[in-house]
Amino acid sequence: MEGLLEQIDPLNARQFYIAVKRLADSLSYGTDRSPFLGSGLEFFQSRPYQEGDPIKSIDWRVTARTGKLYIKEYETPKRLPCYLLIDTSASMMISSTAKSKYALALHIAGGLAFACLERVSPVGVLGVGETDFRIHPSLSKDQVMQWLVRLRRFRYDEQTTLGQRVAEFSPSLKNRALIIVLSDLHDPRAVPALKQLSQVHDTVVIQFRDPAEVHLKGAGLMRAQEAETGADFVTHGRQNWLDQEQIDFQLKRSGIDHLLIETDEPFVPQLRQFFSARDILSRGSR
């Protein structure tokens, strides 16, 4: 029941690296700014002196002009760790197009990881299938390549644990983080768990959808088997698998940035516009 995205050899590994690195280079986000104030290098503002402020920080020019003591404040560079929550469940492997939802998710995860590293934001990974897979945040490019290669191997019978993993993962985070979820959201517990997660952490959801999940054109009643549980069921070819409007509404209402990627459509311009318009990766400097 195991699968492999591609045959792993030095040539293909290099091609995969070039592909995800090119994706990272294509994502232009602007200049990072930090709202944290402290002993940084870039001057931010002057403010009135408060008892206990260091004398060496006095802004003598403003003080001389106003006759009152003012202190210089500087921007302190501070990076949030970025966690990529990658859905490795069976529903991500089913595909009616050239590339499966999982293949696109892994490709995009690699590009986002390299983009974060270029902004000096450490990147960690958490698998949200049945396989226990967790990589702690690091600034190592070699580590990114290692988990990309490891995640190429997958199973066709993994169940979704997105909701459960998110609920268990959130309390383990000691500090605020940027969480990017890459999943098809085929877990009824996922959205409630993500809504709770977003109350503490910056949360982004990149959802993947195969054309067959919208409807099977020309198909009537059919018998099928659920990929993750093995349960047999009867359905209609035009039945939608998810209540997409409700998912969109719930995520938007919770302030979660949400992007739906169709596996049969070009995604890079859409992804670039999504991240640049919301300045998402620049949150790593907050």
pLDDT band at 61 (very low <50, low <70, confident <90, very high): very high
Q: Does domain 13-29+78-276 have CATH number 3.30.930.10?
A: no
- The 10s digit of each residue's pLDDT in 225-263 is 555 555 665 555 545 567 899 999 999 999 999 999 999
Whole-number Å distance between alpha carbons of 124 and 130: 18
The answer to whether 227 and 156 are in contact (CB under 8 A) is: yes
Which whole number is the average pLDDT over 166-185? 92
pTM to 2 decimals? 0.75
| Beta strand extents in the chain (DSSP E only) | 2-4, 37-38, 42-48, 70-75, 82-86, 123-127, 134-138, 153-155, 178-183, 202-209, 221-225, 232-236, 257-262
Give the pLDDT score at 227. Answer: 55
- The 10s digit of each residue's pLDDT in 2-49 is 777 765 555 566 777 888 888 888 764 443 444 433 444 456 788 898
Which whole number is the average pLDDT over 131-143? 92
Whole-number Å distance between alpha carbons of 65 and 92: 64
Helix (H/G/I), strand (E/B), else coil: 74: strand
Give the pLDDT score at 94. Answer: 82
Residue intervals of the chain classified under CATH 3.40.50.410 are 13-29+78-276
Which whole number is the average pLDDT over 45-59? 85
